[in-house]
Each structure stands twice: as structure tokens, then as C-alpha cells.
Chain A
């Protein structure tokens, strides 16, 4: 593909509407416009009314045996309860439509089972849609996992050729890129050793090295980044950032809101097989968060508590935020915040654990604190209780936070909660007014940190 043009030729592309093309930074506009010209469409990807139906209730396994099929038709076959066994239709995707322009980097988010993986499988042609159609203009590569087709008995080098072929590189292209791939993997001394002798880290590095050298115009990536160590994840994100910056189109599924925020220019949020948001990244992340907890973040604490499903052993009776002894709805960051939790343990139990997690707006857990962190004993007897946690002044900065209360018994995984980022809990959105010391002398500067902690400083003439 020729990337020699330097002057943006967006205007030459067939009627790009001004709002969408503004989302594509000027630096990469030339490549995407070039691609648009070549295919005669401004869209890299167009999905129209895509639906996918699965059958439920036939059996736990999706496959059958011929024996079962024949046995079920025999006249003396005892009919089971027809209602319980009747197949039920389940639409994993229902009427999903969207368009992606050349050069856009789109994040696809949604909780597990929202349909995003099914959508990826349909767009990558692994599964067929039950309804609808999609059009993809350009050379596509799909990374639904790294190391597809890798075989333990083969050497690193042999696996490179196999994996590269599966990812769409011709043998000649692979030979040309072989040195670069081996170099990038950083495991050159072991490249002729069977992969079964590799550590999992080496395996991932090699697999990613191959994936990083494919050169499509449209990249479709599933949660590849969820595996591997932090260094590996950063390498992955860096490579995807390069890819996006070079004007290619990326469709990116992730549970990491931070990664989505850093990479994407647009977010599509899915829930129960539908698109519930398509557009702004920060708004999309908020919608995802709300869907995740089933609670509108504007609601009061009492309303949130009313949504918490009942639990036989435990109930939340009330949560109040206090500042200076007064109930607070908006938190002043310069004042201690007390969170008082009233709850009832309904039955005698092994020790209760109660804690609070603080999340930023992108689902990153910043702090996690339990009431027995210092080993001061835990509630074991039934009865009503009240636990209060004090979050000191100058903890929060001028940003939005989400507090999540969590409770569980030692012998039981978790109790009484709404779905949140990491398991069940009670999500409490927190709005702040900045009265704290953080950056107090420069009040108009941007808040880039996560917390508004202030440390003691001492400056003297040396």
C-alpha cells in the first residue's frame, strides 16, 4: 500500500461528513483517505442488522451423538419432560448496526455475555450471522488470541511460519520478516528449541512477536492484553498505539477502561446483544459502568441499596456519608469523609469481612480497605451492626470516584451485591468539590493524578 502522499486528501474521499472525519487526527488522515479512495467507500467496516441466535436448553454440551438422536426417535424411548428440555432461542446479538471509518480506533466494551465476542466472531467470519450483513473494505487481520495453531512439538521457528500463515502472511512475507520477528521476540537463542520447553513468558513473547508483524489495514483485537505480565501488556499496548497512529482501522475489545481511554477515539458499548452507546469515549465508559452495576450513577445511595438483591444471611440497612458530622452528598476533598455502614448479620456465621474499594472513573481499583486489615477481630455473631470507615482529608482529588462496598463470609464467596468491576458489591458514586491541599496554589491546572494525596515537604537552603 502506497503511503507516499503527504497532503491530506480527505476532501477527495466520497462525501465524508464533517463530524466524523474530525475524529480522525490530521496526521493519519492521508493513509485513511488513501484507503477510502482505493475502496471507494469512507467506511472500513459496515455492519447492518446483525443478529445471532443460539439454541439453549438442548443439553449442556452443544454437540450430540448419533446414538442420542436415533434413541430419541425410537418408539419405546421414554419422553422426558418436554418443557424443561425444549430448545429455547437465545439471541446473543440482536439487530446490531454500526459503521467504522477508515482510520478510526474503536473500543468495543461490555460485560461478559453482552455479545461483544460473538460480534467479533461474526466480523472475523469465524461464526455466521443468523441475520444481517457486514461489509469490510481492506485487508483484515483478527487477533482473537495470540499463538493460534502453535504446536508444542514444533520449534519456535517452525511455529512462526505456521502462525504467520494462519494470520494471513504468505511464506515469502514471513521469510522476509523472520529476522525482525525473532529479534522482536527477544528469545533468539531458543528459536530452534521445541516450544514445549519454553516458559509461558517466552511462549507469549514469541506469539506476540508474530502478531506484531502482520500488516493489515484493519485490525480486530480481542482481549489479547489480558494475558502476560505487565511488561508484556505494555508492549502490546505500545504496538497497538503505533498501529492506530499510523492511520489503520482498529476494532479493540477490552475490559481495561484505561487502555480503551488511551487508544480509542470512539467507544461502542454492548449490553444483552444490543448497542447501548456509540460515540464519545468517556461517556461510553460511564454507560458501561452503569450497565455493569445496573444503577444510574446519579441515583441516591438509598436507591442503590434498594436494587441490592436480598441475601439470606446478610442485609445492608443503610449507608451514610458524613463530613464534619453532617450527612454529605457532595464530598469536599479537604475534609475527612466518614462512611457509616449499617447492616444485619441474620445468622451465626464464620467471620464476616466488610471492606470498601475506591475506583477511578475508568474502573481502576485505587485502594482496597477491609475493616479487619489490622486484625482487630471480625463479626461472628448474628445481629445488627454499624461499621464506620474514615477516609482522611486530602485523599480524593477533583475527579469522580466510585466507592464499592463489599461484604462476604469466610466460608462463602460473596454476598448481597450488584455486579461491579470485580465481583459483587454496592457501588456508591462519589462527586467531589476540591477543597483539599492538592495543587492549591495553582487551582486551574488539570488534575492528571488519581488521588489528591499531599505529602509533607521540607525545603531549606543547602
Chain B
């Protein structure tokens, strides 16, 4: 594919970021995203409907459990829309992380038979999961409109929160995907971590649920910024993210992304040998 001189040198480390190479292989990225979507659409018994059913059922269950029975506060918005915003982002994160952890192992035949920048594999999952995300987001809009809720001007901030969610999820997916090549029990750790993480993230409750002097702990989890920010921008619920908390969350996001990509690129040369 590269139309110039390719140099292979054992004494030169590959650069951590090589945008030119990723661009040169963009057709592989497109093909992989398309493959994942096509396969999932074909294999699932009820096809595309599955994307909708999952968050819908979760929303109903959480609403009954936490909204009606436990009476969690929901920042003065109807609990179902409140929780659905959390579910949309949490599902995206969980999907990218769990698919990303397995992605190298499940593409083993390709990794041992052909070269392309391996970052394309977790990247394809981060992009592919966006499709589900957008579909559910559209449903959320329709749901909001039926309840008479119209998003205000702050809705324009939404893409920023999506971007943070993507960067954080992709960073973790890179880290655990690469670790899973070396240590095959990493996937159990991820499943367990996701179970804990669900409750450590304000999906079914607002940040204000915690005593005010403890909310900084939640800001260490960038998904707090993402979900609370999305609730503010879409529903007008709560207040805009505080500067201090936002900076902490962004710092954690960039650190995760940097560590994930760095570790992935360092381990990349050994993938074909140890997978």
C-alpha cells in the first residue's frame, strides 16, 4: 500500500502516532466498520430492532426499580428520559470496551496474515458502536418530543460530550485489547469492571445524589462529565459542568487515551508472535 520506500529496522521504534499511515489504510478501516455492521445486522434474529430493544428494556426496568420504587431524584426531569440519556452513553462505552478487549483475538487470522496498523481494529469498534448510539439518540429525541421536552440552545454542546466519550472508550479499549493478547484472562476483569463501573457512574442517579464534598470523586470518571453534561445539554437538567470537575475529567480522558494508545503501539510489534 505505501507507494514509497518501506523501511523495517529493528533498532528504530515505531512512532506512537502515525497519522499518515492511518490515513493510507483508511479503506481498511471503512471495510472493517462495514463488515461489523453488516454481520451484526444479518446475524441477529430481529436485526436492527435489537439496537432499540436493549436500551428500551433497560429504561423501563431502571425506571420501575430506581424511579418508581426507590424514588431516586432525577434533576427535575421525568425519570425515563433522565435514565435513558445515561443508558445511551453507558451502552456505547460498555460496547466499545468489551468489543475492543476481544477485537485483536477475534481478528487473529488477519493479524497473522497481513500488515496494517492494528489501531484500526479498536478504532473500527469505536466508530461502529456510534451507529447504535445515533439510532438510540434519535429515539431519545422522539421520546422527549412526546413528553413535550424541546432541547434548548445548549444542545449544541452535545458533540463535545460524545467526543469525550469516544476518546475515553477508545483509550481503554486499546489498553485492554493489547493486554488481552498477552494475558487472556483480561476479558473477565473487564466484565467485572463494567459491573462495578455501572454503579460508579451516574447512570441511574444524578451527581447531586452524593454529598457535595464527595462529588469530586465522581469527576475522576470521565463518564460523569459525559452523562451529566449530556443531561444538561439535552434536558436542561442540573447545571452546566463546573470548570474544576470538567478539567479533572478531561485530564483523566486524555491520560487514558495517551496511555492506551502508547501501550497498544508498544505491544503492537509482538501481536503477530503471541496472539
Cβ contact within 8 Å between B6 and A140: yes
Separation of A260 and B183 alpha carbons in the complex (Å): 41
Which one of B38, B114, B183, B273 contacts A69 once the chains associate, using CB atoms below 8 Å? B183
- Report B175 CB to chain A, min CB distance, Å: 13
**By DSSP majority rule, is chain A's interface helix, strand, loop, or mixed?**
mixed
How close is A190's CB to chain B, nearest CB, in angstroms? 17
- Write out, one digit per residue, whether chain B residues 21-54 have a CB within 8 A of any chain A CB (1) or not (0): 0000001101110110011001100000000000
Interface assignment of B196: CB less than 8 Å from any CB of chain A: no
Minimum Cβ distance to chain A for residue B40 (Å): 9
Q: Is A148 among interface residues, defined by CB-CB distance under 8 A?
A: yes
Most central of B3, B111, B186, B189 by chain A CB within 10 Å = B3
- Whether A139 lies near B2 (C-beta < 8 A) is yes
Contacts of B31 in A (CB 8 A): 149, 161-162, 165-166
The distance from the CB of B113 to the nearest CB of chain A, in whole angstroms, is 5
- Stretch of A5-13, A18-26, A151-159, A380-388 at the chain-chain interface: A151-159
- Counting chain A CB atoms within 10 Å of each CB, which of B31, B38, B186, B269 scores highest? B31
From known contacts A125-B6, A126-B272, infer whether A65 and B184 are also in contact, taking CB-CB under 8 Å.
yes
Q: Which residues of B contact A153 (CB under 8 A)?
A: 38-39, 42-43
Cβ of A144: which chain B residues have Cβ within 8 Å of it?
Answer: 113-114
Measured in the bound complex, the distance between the Cα atoms of B35 and A136 in whole Å is: 31
Q: Which of B8-16, B84-92, B208-216 contacts A (4 or more CB under 8 A)?
A: B8-16
Cβ 8 A contact of B273, one of A123, A127, A133, A170: A127
Which residues of B have CB within 8 Å of A307?
none
Asked if B109 lies at the interface with its beta carbon under 8 angstroms from chain A, I say: yes
Q: Is the CB of B6 within 8 A of A135?
A: yes
Q: B7 at interface (Cβ–Cβ under 8 A)?
A: yes
List the A side residues contacting B242 at CB < 8 Å.
none
The residue on A at minimum CB distance from B186 is A66
Q: Does A98 contact B (CB under 8 A)?
A: no
Mark interface residues in A99-130 (1 if CB within 8 Å of B CB, else 0): 00000000000000000000001111111111
Q: B110 touching A122 by the CB < 8 A rule?
A: no
Instruction: Please state if A133 and B27 are interface contacts (CB–CB under 8 Å).
Output: no
Query: Is there a chain A Cβ closer than 8 Å to B18's Cβ?
Result: no
CB pair A63 B27 closer than 8 Å = no
B5 CB–A CB distance under 8 Å: yes
Q: Does B262 contact A (CB under 8 A)?
A: no
Q: Indicate if the CB atoms of B10 and A130 lie closer than 8 Å.
A: yes
A137 with B183: CB separation less than 8 A:
no
Beta-carbon contact of B182 and A63 below 8 Å: yes
Residues on B with beta carbons closer than 8 Å to the beta carbon of A54: 273
B109 and A63 contacting across the interface, CB-CB below 8 Å: no
Q: How far is the CA of A113 from the CA of B110 in the complex (A)?
A: 22
CB distance from A126 to the nearest CB of B (A): 5
Cβ contact within 8 Å between A128 and B10: yes
User: Nearest chain A CB to B50's CB is how many angstroms away?
Assistant: 16
Report the Cα distance A128→B109, complex, angstroms: 17
B114 — which chain A residues lie within 8 A by C-beta?
124, 126, 142, 144, 148-149, 166-167
CB of A122 within 8 A of CB of B8, answer yes
User: Does any Cβ of B come within 8 Å of A131's Cβ?
Assistant: yes
Q: Mark A171-187, 1 if CB is under 8 A from B, else 0.
A: 10000000000000000
Asked whether any CB of chain A lies closer than 8 Å to the CB of B156, the reply is no
B28 CB contacts on chain A under 8 angstroms:
165-166
Contact of A137 with B185 at beta-carbon distance under 8 Å, contacts A125-B115, A154-B35, A166-B31 already known: no
B154 CB within 8 Å of chain A: no
B275 within 8 A of A: yes
Shortest C-beta distance, B275 to chain A (Å), equals 7
Give B110's nearest chain A residue, CB to CB.
Answer: A149
CA distance A292 to B216 in the complex (A): 69
- Report the Cα distance A134→B166, complex, angstroms: 37
**How far is the CB of B21 from the nearest CB of chain A, in Å?**
11
Residues 45-87 of A, flagged 1 when their CB comes within 8 A of B and 0 if not, give 0000011001000000011111101000000000000000000
Interface: B116 (CB within 8 A): yes
B10 A154 Cβ-Cβ under 8 A: no
User: A51 to B11, alpha carbons, bound, how many Å?
Assistant: 12
Which residue in chain A gives the minimum CB-CB distance to B112?
A: A126
Give bound CA distance, A127 to B182, whole Å.
Answer: 15
Tell me whether B10 and A132 are in contact (CB under 8 A).
yes
Least CB distance, A134 to chain B, in whole angstroms? 4
Cβ of A169 under 8 Å from chain B = yes
Contact between B10 and A148, CB atoms less than 8 A apart: no
Q: Are B183 and A135 touching (Cβ within 8 A)?
A: no
B167-196 CB contact bits vs A (8 Å, 1 = yes)? 000000000000001111110010000000
Interface centre among B109, B113, B274 (most CB of A within 10 A): B113
Interface assignment of A234: CB less than 8 Å from any CB of chain B: no
Cβ contacts under 8 Å, B116 to chain A = 166
Q: Which residues of the partner chain B approach A51 to less than 8 Å between Cβ atoms?
A: 10
List 22 A-B pairs, Cβ < 8 Å.
Answer: A51-B10, A54-B273, A64-B183, A67-B185, A126-B272, A127-B273, A128-B8, A133-B9, A135-B8, A136-B8, A137-B6, A139-B2, A148-B109, A153-B39, A153-B43, A162-B32, A165-B28, A166-B28, A166-B31, A167-B114, A170-B27, A194-B42
| Given A64-B183, A136-B6, A170-B27, 19 additional A-B pairs, CB 8 A | A54-B273, A63-B184, A66-B186, A121-B272, A123-B8, A126-B111, A126-B114, A129-B8, A133-B11, A134-B8, A135-B6, A142-B115, A148-B109, A148-B114, A162-B35, A165-B27, A166-B110, A167-B114, A168-B1
The 10 A-B residue pairs with the shortest CB-CB distance, nearest first, are: A165-B31, A128-B269, A168-B1, A66-B183, A133-B9, A125-B115, A65-B185, A136-B6, A134-B8, A165-B27
B binding-site residues for A, Cβ under 8 Å: 1-3, 5-11, 27-28, 30-32, 34-35, 38-39, 42-43, 109-116, 181-186, 189, 269-270, 272-275
